[in-house]
Structure 1
Amino acid sequence: MATDRPAAPAFQEELLRRARERAAARPAARPDSADRGPAPLSRAQHRMWLMDRLGHDGASYSVPFATRLRGPLDVDALASALTELVRRHEILRTRYVERDGEPCQEVLPAPGSFAVPVVPADPADAPALLGAEAGRRFDLSAGTVPRALVLRHGPQDHTVLLTFHHISLDGPSLEIVAEELAALYETAAHPREASAPAPGSDPAQPPSQPQPRPPQYADFARHEHRAAADGLDAGLRHWHALLEGAAPPRLPGPTHPPTDLTARPTGSHTTPLAPEVPAALRELGRRHHATPFTVALTAAFAALHRCTGQDDLVIGIAGTHRRGAAMRGLVGLCVNTLPLRVDTSGDPSFSTLLTRVRAALLDAQQHADVPFDRIVDRIGAAARGADGTSLVRVTADVLGIPTTLRLPGTDAEYVEVGVGEAKFDLSFGLVDTDRPAALVQYRRAALDEEAATAFGATYAAVLTALGAATDDLPLSHLAKGAGAQLPPGTGALQEDDAHPAERLLRCHPDLSDATVVSPAGGPLLAYAVLREIGGPSPAELRAHLRDRLAPGLVPAAVTLLDVLPRSADGTVNPAHLPGLPALPAPEGPHADAVREGFAALLGRTPGPDDDFFALGGHSLVAVQLAERLRRALTLPLTGLDIMQARTPRAVSALLDTRAAERAAASLRAATRPGQPGRTGRSAPAGQSALRTGRARNGTVLVTGGTGGVGSFLLQELAAQGRPVLALARPESAHLVAADGVEVVEGDLTDLDGLREAVQDADAVIHAACTFTRPEVDVAAMDAMVDAWSRGPFVFVSSVDAYGHPVGGQVAEESPSHEPLSPYGRAKTDCEARLLRAAGIAGRGGASAVRSPLVWGPHDRLRDQLRWGATGVLYQAIREGRPLAVPRPGAGGHAWYGAAWVHAAALARAVVSCLDAPVHGVANAISGHVTWHDLGTELSQLLGATADFKESDEIHPDLDHHWHYHSDRLARPLRPLPGEDLRSVLAAMITPSLDRQPGRT
């Protein structure tokens, strides 16, 4: 039968021709963000990155997205959809690193495929499996590509879990992800249907058009960074004035704080509401020109006021930076915490309180661009509680229908996955669905479960009462008698972790306030404030306590005061309580180091009880102080420790405790008899030699620990409190034995031993090298990479891998140029094997750190000074021989000399790659020195007279004319006191065993 339609081949050719014409006419696509280099972190990302650096529970910032799907599931199509999703949205394949001391985001290449493991599981076992998978931490420096897991309950019954990091997306982003995944899944599952022309469609149009490129988050961060170039001073001044004098709400802490929070760190309490309540709340808002969110937020303020008795309250809400059509389809973190300060005094009616909350909300939204962490740092100590928690301990929100993954052909059911610890001590939530409820979520370490139940009941009672049109009632009568009071023993002004005697005094009907203190070396003392004149006497109060407490818990005296002296953050100030003995300032090396650290970073010498934040400290300074003390004292310490301890006395005591714990562990190791190692040999008692059993969590395997570089690596790892597994021969084990170090027998020729050691470690630093047997070095790297299955891997390489570059300036990751020495070629081969394997099959990030000559006070490094290129100078000076050095310009090169690195700086740079892998090659350079200047320094230090002359003839060992750039690791390479050229040369020329790290 005749037809007007062209033959199939001709039709396809015509479509292809027209598609090409349209493609040629279209403007060039916007470049990938990765092509434009690193982008700054957005304000919200910076806050998240800082929380990660401070050591907060990383699992708290995982975003699990789980859906139970009933119906046929095409796992291959799901994997294809995820691959395309990650390709489209660069933020889902971004890593976070530091450049020149500042954090930035770098887009990683799109993965070629996405792994979707399928695990058979009974539905009853699903919660534990989902929680464990969602609780696995992300390494921000390695990238935040989302993880997938499918639990197969039956042929057509699966639970799909996608786990993201919060730094990559927020709530609206999750809705975008779910919608796009459904469309991409349908395309992958039915490719022919998606690509075929629709019946009756215009043949001039291609069968399918690629989806438009979505907006990229890096562009948003760059725009935000440029917009903030003029600073945030005006906004910070506004927030400072608004929040000055505010303090975090004081919540009733648990009577007996739970000791094990690993199973249930977060609690929740749900109170069902009548189905008509949400509609009644919306009607209430309409009458007062307020949104349902504002009404629910006002109810949260009312409940918090009733449960705590406090009038000046702060509740945090989530603000958003999503504005305009340009951000439609953007996946990323666009939120900011907004602290709302509301005065609930005067027993206002709910409608009056609603007016106050609405005004505070509008004001906050007008200044929503100021980062919350900057606000807290600007306010200082007054914005934090006694435990270091910031101003926002309580939040509120309205929760709608949760997002689910709705794949074609399946029925979707939302699955709740609990992860880590709650981000705030207490959160109120109005569940506005077909099953409305009042929800409170809380940290079990911060809030008593019985008190949390009372908070939830109060919130539900307020919401229910508002539904009955009682918004004109004062707060004191709103929902009165509806379970709105806290249970006995959780008084309104109760402090966290209070002494039992203090709890009883606070519950006494005739007392308005009380505290109990235990001064060092003195008796337990109580202080109380009477509600009215003529109340109980101190003797009667003490008898009241004696009747209810064990003798050891009864204070020696009760003192009545008109008011308890309190600090700016609302906590009792023991320094102003009468009758307390003055505490002596702490003494000892830990206290001295803490005092010096406070003074160096905060610009003033602190008193023993001065508050870190009151002295001007903030989050980044806490990180810097912890790093300084950790390095100086070789004791584990984090920025979060500083923020929680806060005073020099408390930080010193914490360090004393950790030193005692380490000493006790060392004593146990020293008294433990030798145990047979993997090869059956045993170590003498007291020697941390051959190990058996599984390494501790977080263990770093170090090869080359007996060498000069290795000894500094072990010292740096010890300073950070990281457990170490050191590879060494039995006869060399004593050179690396130290606190926190376990020794495993082996060397580079023992490939089986290398594999076993790598399998036992959570991170690897490979610093060993034969120097003369490149085939051994390459075979050892092959064995280690083959066994590597998790965590970061750092390889200490050499600038010899660059060979002989053409120019005098050598950028990081420049290609190698012939001629390459066998040593340099082995380094490049090892690097290539490592970097190819990085990020595959669960492996972490990889770093190849290329170093030049390494100098430092160690016998191995002193030997290096006396031989090789520098040895030409050294021996000539020692022997008084004349020396010819290349003249600038000889051979067409303007400069001749050597790059060098201090061993301690190299160790800092290498260890920094454990937390922030460079995912490639980085140089570690302390400086460059000309041969002439080096010879002059050596002559002065050796007390000899050098006879230098410059020549156009170039000694083969002195034919070095390259400057190596060192940008990626600039921050850890910054020189510390004693790491300058002259100091390190003096230390190397004058042997001194007490300067050698790692020696015993």
Structure 2
Amino acid sequence: MSRLDGGDTTYTVPWALRLDGPLDREALRAALADVVARHEPLRTLHPDFQGTPYQRILDAEAGRPELAVAAATEAELPALLTAAARHRFDLAAETPLRTTLYALDDETHVLLLLAHHIAVDGWSRAPLLRDLETAYAARTAGEVPQWRHLPVQYADFAQWQREALGSATEPGSPMNRHLAFWREALADAPDVLPLPADRPRPAEPSGDGGRAGFTIDAGLHADLAGLAATSKATLFMVLQAALAALLTRFGSGTDITLGTPVAGRDDSRLDDLVGFFVNSLTLRTDTSGNPTFRELLDRVRDFDLAAYAHQDVPFDVLVDALSPQRDLARHPLFQVVIAFTGHGTEPEPSLPGLIVAGEPIETGAARFDLCLYLRERRNADGGPAGIDGVVEYNTDLFDPATAERIARALVRFLTAVAADPGSRVEDVDLHGDDVHREVVRQTAVSLPGLPAAPAGQEPATPAERILAGLFRELLTLPEVPLDEDFFALGGDSISTIRLVSRAAEAGVVISARDVFKYQTVRELAAVARGAAGAGMRPVHAPGDGTGAVPLTPIMRWLFERGGPIGRFSQSVLLTVPAGAGLQPLTDALQSVLDHHDMLRSRLTPARELHVSPVGQVRAADLLDRRDTSGTYLASDADALHTIVTEEFERAVGLLDPVAGAMIRAVWFDAGAERAGRLLLIVHHLAVDGVSWRILVPDLEAAWAAVAAGRRPELPPVGTSFRRWSLALVEQARTPSRVAEAELWLHSADAPRTPLGSRPLDPDQDTAATTRSLRLTLPPETTGPLLTTVPSAFRAGTQDVLITALALAVAEQQGSPHVVLDVEGHGREELAPGLELSRTVGWFTSLYPVHLDLAGIDLSDALAAGPAAGIAAARVAERLRELPDHGAGYGLLRHLNPDTAAELAKAPTPAIGFNYLGRVTARDTADATAWTFAPESSALGTGSDPDLAAAHVLEVNSLVRDTGSGPHLVADWSWPDGVLTEPEVRALAESWFAALTALATQVDRRASGMSLRGLEQDELDELAAGLDG
């Protein structure tokens, strides 16, 4: 582990002692040498020979520790201790104990003993300090310590353990029996426990941590001890059951695995040894069925007693035997730990002439996602005096406020179940203070009669006014409170890009990363930079976007499919003002062509793109006019529909990426009195869905300027597509990116159930054989899918859509393993200085995702039961684990020759999924100019008939905001030789049913968790509190 982690600082164990009084430094130096000489683990190196590690025990003199002495002030001391505790041990060349003495003045010192976990455990502190006490007393008296003989050394224990347990492959051996128990006990346990994290898990954990302290008072301590006694359980079991239940309430599911340390010192001869004897047990708790707390405690007791009977299997041996999914970003088998220390603690050592006290150290490290430390206190009579608790949390995942909220919720939960152990865990009241507010926030319960914007919440700065207006516009909301979460209001990753772009145009500079980190108007405004300030977004230099452009991963994916790509395009049909004019439209289009490089690109014979300089692609050669001013068109919508279809087919046939014909346009001129239409077709190599949100406003702005006699001044582009594609090539070979390969290979190896009557055949299953189906979900269900449902599960709208699809597929196929090819917008900040919110091009990412729904009751989930929420939390956690929203897969699959071949062996997922975000639609013929025209359904497909199908089934979805509210629109497509329409329709309807179930489950949770038991006067009081 040390070699894998590069000497990870989470495996260091710091102990510090404050020494007040006259210190004999030389006696201390000698005493430390005596202690190290007595305990072999403290003078053992761990080198390797030909890749195999071994132990090398140094003699007493060679292993003698060096006592470093440093001057320090009281103010400097905490930072010095923290920095020292972050030391990375080189175990091959360095003994696992460092000693430092900080001299604050002549009679005040702090001694730091920093050990590596390979040599000590928590129980080693007592014998080590007892021996230091003996040795220092002897050395100050001018003598050598007279030790009580150690009957064994650590190496003897290791040998005994191997002999006593026997071989795992030996039938009937203790090791064989122990492993058989654990294989059954942990069968199908989740590899990852979904947690209420504030951020996705990074591919490379920092190991940084924080701590949130709390206290259980003496009265509650006594009640919990009494509950344990009457339940024939231990106090630890009560605390473990409470933690498991609380995690279930926070969305971690009903199969809760926790780790806990056990001393591993069953033989009294080990009591005086320093060494790493501790072992980790995996305790599994089934919280399903909404049991009473006493019933849950019975379950915990039964499992724990069996687990402790099989505690002798070393944790590393157990991991090797069970072979869970391995990921260096998280701990195997469990990510949450509960550690309980009884009241029998050792006093600090008594050193002659000195007053000794423990000195606190804030290490700033965390080995696990969450760790709950609990230390029991007893009064002089041995009665309960309280429990001190600490929630240690990984700062990669959690904010301090979240850890503090977990701690407070745990105390409230314990208080409730101590008073009534018959309470069902899902019904325990978590009302009160910030926990209640968080429940309300996460479930987004709306109370009738409350004001839309609380008093005193008007924007106070220009940045707040701009951002509040953009929140309202992009999310189609009448009002936006300044402290409301962008994503809880319905935002997603695509609308984030639009927010960044639109804010920059208004002079407020923020990044997509800012939006994910600071999610409210008030927070974003506080970190925003003015457009004229030092935070100005990067703008590429003239000519930076021209020249050779390497193919991106998604482009290489297209060419691998096989077949022609000349028609492979995207198109829009826009309403334009009456009498827009051919020349003004031409001039506007020319301005857009000159501004956005990829519209001037062409495909070279060498299979790369080349962008021509500004001015070399003429808009006049690409824009045609079609007269539709005939009076019959005013009353015959079908006639216009037919003309649009004809022109689309003609124009799309003129696309030719090799010749540089990446764009075609047709103006349908309806005369000076009626609004016309503008058809834009762009080859997919030059555009994606997000790009249209840039192109259409730019074209509108350019036309308005030309029509007013002004020269168009379009907002600047940040990073050019060419610069971006070059950055991808570099990124694909970085060590951190290459380290992701194991994650993607594991997804490739996931079990799969075939979909359809046969595998895809690229010669038969082409665009010409593709059939399609469209279903639309009404606003009453779509609305919650954008707001309350994602907020409840700390997820995004796409996560919710994917959860429902996985439930539907798993239910139809009868397998808990679902593998999807997921499309993302791909505009990730993969390197510093990239700004892509206004760059036009094909950025799409495509990556496989394995979703494991094992242990989830699919019938319950589809019936809007608690299993629906468990599935959503699990899927959201899985998607959060993917670095950079999956962008790394394409880099490794297509741009890195060292990883491409292995990844290419994996079969393509049968189902492709794409969520395009939210778009504004107009449903009437008098639609506003420069919005999508009502005749858009006349546009044909943007694929060549002979282009091979990419998937057995594809789902393309978006949310269309209309006057009646948001509608989820889903287009399903499939080759008719593999699937039938009834099969697809059944799955599509099951997906919508699963989405409805998720919305219903959140509604039930909200009404049951947040408002249960509140009388009308209490509701009025709550409303008044919010109003203030």
TM-score by length of 1: 0.45
Q: Higher relative CO (CA 8 A, sep ≥ 6), structure 1 or 2? A: 2
TM-score by length of 2: 0.44
